[in-house]
A = this chain, B = another copy of it.
Amino acid sequence: ADVAAGKAKAAACGGCHGADGIATNPAYPNLAGQHAQYLVAAMKAYKTGARDHAVMKAMVSSLSDEDMENIAAYYESLKK
């Protein structure tokens, strides 16, 4: 996975999850240091609707599997 490419794609995620993966609004999960494998599975679940969440579905709808792997690798790389 390409952490730098993931960082670029993750710019859109920072609005809710924090620029550094620490969400300032406690309604949203921190992503910094989270397992990449889990993050990919979560993004795919939002895309398919297995996780029913309108905002997350919209956010991930245009992401390829590779994009998701890169974004997940970026968040995993951040300090918790």
Contacts and interface: CB of A to CB of B under 8 A. Distances in A.
Interface of A: 23, 26-30, 33-38, 41-42, 45, 50-53, 80
Given A27-B37, A30-B33, A52-B52, 12 more contacts: A23-B35, A23-B38, A26-B35, A27-B38, A28-B35, A28-B38, A29-B34, A29-B38, A30-B34, A45-B52, A50-B52, A51-B52
Main secondary structure on A side of the interface with B: loop
What's the number of copies of this chain in the assembled complex?
Answer: 2
Contacts of A36: 26
A55 B15 CA distance: 31
B33 A29 contact: no
Contacts of A50: 51-53
